[in-house]
Chains A and B, each alone.
Chain A
Amino acid sequence: MVNSTVFAPWEDPGQTPLIRIENVTKRFGDFTAIDDVSIDIYTREFFALLGPSGCGKTTLMRMLAGFETPSEGRITIDGKDMAGVPPNKRAVNMMFQSYALFPHLTVWDNIAFGLRRDRMDKDRVAARVEEMLKLTQLQKFAKRKPHQISGGQRQRVALARSLAKAPKLLLLDEPLGALDKKLREETQFELMEIQEKTGTTFVIVTHDQEEAMTVASRVAVMNHGKLVQVDTPERIYEAPKSVYVADFIGDVNLIEGLVASVGELAELTWAEGKAPLIGQSGASLKAGDEAVFAIRPEKIAISREEPEARNRVRGKIVDIGYLGNLSVYHVQLPDGSYMKCEVGNRSRVSRRDYTWEDEVWLSWTDTAGLVLPS
């Protein structure tokens, strides 16, 4: 493309979303699994649903696929109200968490299953299946039954099967949950590549926040059936709107205190006789509010001499974790609380500068931390 712009249809008011979830609530008996959720998802997005177990991710997906009906609210896909439309009449395909491959059919027939339901003629079915087999590198396994292939191969069959019909919307419910880390990362990139090639809109459910950060154009963080924040992965990570999101995505140090002043930057008093901490001001805070200072471990510098930065605390190293590419220092502050600080390992371990029981300074810049409402 000549005029390549950043993909961000959600910022363009002229775009109409592919999926509109409007004030949807889902109750099972008197238990509310989804609580007044509204999301717009745009064509070609890779939209990730993230949240702790039982927060309602699968339920939301099942409503999109048509296996559950909302108790309240409305779901429209491509402008059509989905109320009363059964799963087999929706241009939506779902890749199940358990893969749900048909055990009595070969890989080939599994992939062809959906195409045959459309009364597509034989040659076109065959051509499409071959195309899918090639895309997922499964040509060699076409004649096998699902129990004769490996877990990763099964996962690709499930993907090929759900992609075969070229749905407008593909729902992936923890598609990579069963894979080991390496295969998982490979498949994530494969997924993104497929998404780019086919232009399908993906909604992916995941437990794994790293996965969400890797693949998604936007991430929705859920908790107890409610939507907590919807944003790009970068913003979710760099500018979480609540302590919950900051804590859920990645590692974070949290320090409680009172807002001293708000302006360009906010100041937070956190301990008697200590200089206030300075950070970017989160949503709608005013002086005197209780708040939490959030700072990511990798944004903290560690030193023996007192640093220049305004944000600095002194403490003692109580634990060191060596993670290969980086080291994590657990530092105990005089008030007894702990902070984590990550430092990249550019040189060999033997040249580690700090060790247990060392007195050190931790410091970070004025814009590295966030002051969030508690």
Chain B
Amino acid sequence: MNRISSFNIVSLTLGFAFLYIPMIILVIYSFNESKLVTVWAGFSTKWYGELLRNESFLAAAWVTLKVAFFSSTLATILGTMAAYVMVRRGRFAGRTLFSGMIYAPLVMPEVITGLSLLLLFIAIGLDRGVLTIVLAHTTFAMCYVSVVVSSRLVSFDQSLEEAALDLGSTPFEAFRLVTIPIVAPAVLSGWLLAFTLSLDDLIIASFTSGPSATTLPMKVWSSVRLGVSPEINALSTIFIGIVTVGVLIASVVSKRAISRRQAEELAAES
């Protein structure tokens, strides 16, 4: 192993400082006694208590979790199916157009996605609320899922599915019993990605929600405009905690999946 030179230490420190100092400050101030965000007045967890008593925050949090759960689940199902068709079902008419269209939302400005969805919901007379946000989030998260899953499917040995068919499974059984378990880690990380994307989306949710449904990012955004409160810091700290745990789980899952896959591939080559 190379010795770590002082130059490396400096650049590493700078990089991490740049990334994490804002968050660290936020976390520290969430434990601030004082109501003034910029003045330190001793350690306290009272803002977390306040937060728990704040009905509107709790309601928003609940909406956010519901939206994130349902939209990421839907997006995972649809995105996995789309990826499967793209990678597996060979060349059908319009395949290139279709795959281009699936990936387009990746580069589409969110404002435009949000606006077009809003217009659609108005046109078909759908009342805006939790349902419309779920639909909107599903739409844009689905393409991320299908990118993640199709990259796994591309490296997946097709003869496994043929073997399943050969042994008497229907195409659906082959998909359920062979394809899904093998691509599961990719599907899971797709789901986690969709979940976090939905969790922190502000723009599309703002376009597609109605008075009955406010998500947490919307709530944070609107209350910050009235001034930053220590409650927001506490809330954000909780979020950082949740995301950190999520990322850790995802990386452990994918690391284990990768090392197992390497072992399997090594075995397949011999």
- Chain A positions within 8 Å of B, measured between CB atoms, are 65-67, 86-88, 92-94, 96, 98-104, 113-114, 117-118, 145-151, 154, 161-162, 165, 178
Known contacts A147-B266, A147-B267, A154-B267, A100 near B169 by CB under 8 Å: no
Q: A67 and B162 in contact (CB under 8 A), knowing A88-B169, A98-B157, A146-B264?
A: yes
CB-defined contacts of B270 to chain A, threshold 8 Å: 150-151, 178
In chain A, what residue has the closest Cβ to B168?
A117
B181 CB-CB contact with A under 8 Å = yes
Instruction: Determine if B249 is an interface residue (Cβ-Cβ < 8 Å).
Output: no
Confirm or deny: B222 has a beta carbon within 8 angstroms of a beta carbon on chain A.
Answer: no
Q: Which residue of A lies closest to B173 (CB)?
A: A117
Interface size range on B against A: 20 to 34
Known: A88-B165, A146-B264. A100 touches B159 (CB 8 A): yes
Q: Are B159 and A98 in contact (CB under 8 A)?
A: yes
Contact at A104–B182, with CB atoms within 8 Å? yes
Chain A residues positioned under 8 Å from B260 (CB to CB): 147
Smallest CB separation, B82 vs chain A (Å): 23
Tell me how far the C-beta of B243 lies from the nearest C-beta in chain A, rounded to whole angstroms.
Answer: 29
Q: Is the CB of B267 within 8 A of A88?
A: no
Residue in contact with A100 in the complex, picked from B157, B171, B173, CB distance below 8 Å:
B157
Binding site for A on B (CB under 8 A): 157, 159-160, 162-171, 173, 177-178, 181-182, 260, 263-264, 266-268, 270
Contact B173 A102 (CB under 8 A): no
What is the minimal beta-carbon distance from B253 to any residue of chain A, in angstroms? 15
20 A-B pairs with CB atoms under 8 Å apart are A65-B162, A65-B166, A67-B165, A86-B165, A88-B170, A88-B171, A94-B162, A94-B163, A94-B166, A100-B159, A100-B160, A100-B163, A103-B182, A103-B268, A104-B182, A113-B177, A147-B264, A148-B267, A150-B270, A162-B167
What residues of chain B lie closer than 8 Å to A103, measured between beta carbons? Answer: 160, 182, 264, 268
9 further contact pairs, Cβ within 8 A, besides A86-B165, A88-B168 = A87-B166, A93-B167, A94-B162, A102-B164, A103-B160, A147-B260, A147-B266, A161-B167, A165-B167
- A118 and B168 form a contact (CB under 8 A): yes
Query: Closest Cβ of chain B: how far from A239's Cβ, in Å?
Result: 37
> For the complex, what is the distance from the CA of A65 to the CA of B166, rounded to whole Å?
7
**Which A residues are in CB contact (< 8 Å) with B164?**
102, 113
